[in-house]
Amino acid sequence: MITKQTTLADVVRDYPQAIPFFNELHLDYCCGGNIPMEEAVQGKDINVDTLLKELMAYINSHKPSNAGAHASLEDFKKLSIPAMLEDLEQTHHVTDRQLMGGIETDLNKILLVHYEHHGELLTRLHHLFTLLKGELEEHFAKEEKKVFPLMRSHPNPTRDILRLVRELEEEHTNAGDLIKEMQRVTDQFTPPEDACPTFKRTYSEMQTLFEDLFVHIFKENSIVFPEYEEQGEVQKDANRDAVKVAADIKMEDCGLCRAETNPEKSEVLYECGDCGATYCDDCAESGCPQCGAPFSHAHPIERSGSSWNPNMG
């Protein structure tokens, strides 16, 4: 049930066909979609009760079809995380780069041709778009060459990878802010009366780009990244359960080498604060061999019968 406390992102996740509805009202379901609906409309000439009624009517009259962005979202949610990352690179990254290249060419043309009458507007728009294009190109490269490969090779996320994911989300927010400013400057891409066909095409292509970016960012912020982080939480719980079972058997054993007979094992054990695994000095060179977390994320524990006290110097 959709209420005032439902977020825009949750609505789109459950009812992808609502995307055009939110786009028409310029409501941000991607970068700022994780706030309640009644909060999302603050400062806008929108009554939240009326919005809810119109939203439900729109959803009921626009059932999911086998084409369009909502069909793409439904298919996307069924993919594995590696397949999701591949899909993002092969669809949105390709489409958005192509659209940005065409817009850049046309925007430079109309900046020169219409400078006399619309120089202030077009100079500001050119500046904002140039910033956005540069940030997105660097962002895509960071995803394709660094973060996505790490996510593929580490199904169970480490703190360092999650930190990189948070950086991507912050970059999404920055891109969203630039887009909103361009929407404001252009009066939601309303061309002036004397606009030539290239002028109108530039505005139209910008709208197409931004609508694709909204879906693109939504997929990452609201589907891929939460699911990836959840995998880490599931693994962490499984590891902690395994540690408890091992502790019931023999608390003084290292979780990795307890089957080995070694009378000279280190008396020091560590419990990883990230995944809950126990390990000894002999089993780790720089931290947890299970998830890669450094020693600083672990706390020492004492083998039973040992005279070593981890709380004393």
pLDDT of 264 reads: 56
pLDDT of 67 reads: 46
Cα 201 to Cα 231: distance, rounded to the nearest angstrom: 44
Report helix angle 197-218 to 92-113, nearest 10. Answer: 150
- Cβ atoms of residues 175 and 133 within 8 Å: no
- CA-nearest of 150, 143, 210 to 171 is 143
pLDDT of 236 reads: 56
Cα 129 to Cα 110: distance, rounded to the nearest angstrom: 14
Which parts of the chain register pLDDT below 70?
64-71, 232-268, 281-282, 284-286, 295, 301-313
| pLDDT (tens digit per residue) in 22-66 | 888 888 787 777 788 888 888 888 888 999 999 999 888 877 655
pLDDT of 34 reads: 79
> pTM of the prediction?
0.67
| pLDDT (tens digit per residue) in 262-307 | 555 555 677 777 777 777 766 766 677 777 777 677 777 654 444 4
Cβ-based neighbours of 7, under 8 Å, separated by 6 or more: 33, 34, 35, 36, 37, 40
pLDDT of 270 reads: 75
- The 10 Å CB-count burial string (b at 16+, else e) for 85-116 is bebbeebbbeebeebbeebeebbeebbeebee
pLDDT of 17 reads: 81
pLDDT of 257 reads: 64
